[in-house]
Structure 1
Amino acid sequence: QPSLTVIEGQIAGLYDLGRTLGTGRFAVVKLARHVFTGQRVAVKVIDKSKLAGGAAGQLLQEVRCMKLVQHPNVVRLYEVIDTHAKLYLILELGDGGDMFDHIMRHEGGLAEVRAKHYFAQIVHAISYCHRLHVVHRDLKPENVVFFQEQGVVKLTDFGFSNRFQPGKMLTTSCGSLAYSAPEILLGDEYDAPAVDIWSLGVILYMLVCGHPPFQEANDSETLTMIMDCRYTVPALISRMLQRDPKRRASLEQIEGHAWLQGVDPSPASRCLAPLPCSRSVRRKRRRMRRMRGSPAPWRGRAVH
């Protein structure tokens, strides 16, 4: 069965592609609009020719984890469209920018009530992921997106995510230096939930202090600070930024901490109505064409 075709500026007759929102090693993220509903989405466009080595497996893992994790504080993967040369991930679009830019606009950190509000939602999302045995492994403010209309923040970019078995150690080194746990940077085997908890500690530090706890002029100095756990922070953060993973707070302890009591971790609207998938739209269009007696403009397949 042939893959879907892409006509100029449009994917499979379903999405009009717009401006570029960001770029990566083998992907470009573009703004797009659903042709029939008008809803705006983000489209991650992956060039298949650049998926060398383990990149294809990593991408497959990202898709599997995002399909599994359906939560009001996680960016939704609506569908995956496969063409001959490219793969398109159709994603929920945030309307308020990312948390890193938000923090940088607040010198000295956010007001405590706002920091609690955002952090509780991030913890809520990661707690859900871990219950499904999914570890994110790249938690950082750049991967937390604001949805102002819904009144929530949501996790995105599961490019380093993976499934894990409780009690079984992982070995893959990944993530971003300033947010990575010491055991990952040392190349040791590591407990999956513990590395996300370390990164949560870094995010909370940035929310309340306005800058990263481990960010020096060069990577070598940053690495030394991480290994020595040199920082001065509130007590809850120090429970997460423990060099020894066994001494790190659990998600249950974080959610139950006095600092977060009384904060709603999942406010406002729960989710948007799902976009019509290409398969259901295709069926409707075929019915309409049979009624009119017109030929089909394209054929193909979509992965949901």
Structure 2
Amino acid sequence: MNKFYTAQEVADKLKIKKTTVYELIKRGELSSSKIGKQLRVSEEQLKAYLDSTVQSSISQIHDYQPESSLLKRDYLLHSSGLIISGQSSPALDLLLNQLPAQPGSLPVLQSHLNTYNGLYSLYFEKVHIACAAASFEDIQSLVPGIPLTVLHFYSYEIGFYIKKGNPRNIQGFPDLQRADIIFANREKGSSRRVYLDRQLNKLGISPENISGYRNELVSDSSTAAAVAGGQADIALGEAYTARTFTDLEFLPLGTETMYLVMASSSFSSPGFQAVVNALSSESFRQALSLQTGYDTSHTGEAACF
């Protein structure tokens, strides 16, 4: 018989906060069922979440349609509205929530794409603004021949998720090759995957020597949950997510910056200016910093190339 768990029971099993469980359900990463008036997660649904495979990751990346609506996407592309690409995050959620209050704001649709796919879609004019954690050189190479304006969104720490107390005594990238270590990886095109692969290449570490390298998950919450739940020993992600899991520690490795990228020809348009104004406001910077701990000292600054 299929067992059903409450949100609190799922939180206890994954060693995370109850609110994080609801966030996973809201994002569609964790399936749930309605029993009477109560939300429940079945044993099968929980297992499916923890055992996410490469195939499910690829499917989400390539087949996802924003709000399951091609019609709405095409309407916004060819009329008065904006499509902003970016995977769900507290920063992007906060920005999207503040946009309607800005003068000249337009209807906004979020397209849940990672860095590579967002920039790719910007190049092919499938989105208007792309969230990207990438260097300027990478951005230019993925969106060639188009004058771009890049807005500094926020900076954040990136590092390893490990179990509290570091029982495996993990110190750095070379430990990924150990036979007793299982790694929870992110999908191709994500900034985490690019960061990982560059570090491995720099250190001369073959991905074939890393157990779990081919098993791709589609969010930091998913990889962190895999470590917290014992399906993996280590994962790479941002510090904010680690703080939502009570059974994890964060081993910092460096800092990355998230940018909002748009065509320079669009920068002065009303809807785009609403994004710029919201991002540049002191109230937004303070709220973002307080809610997430992100570095917002350069939020709103623009660069063109």
TM-score (norm 1): 0.27
Structure scoring higher RCO (CA < 8 A, sep ≥ 6) equals 2
Q: Which has the larger radius of gyration?
A: 1
* TM-score (normalizing by structure 2): 0.27
More helix by share: 2
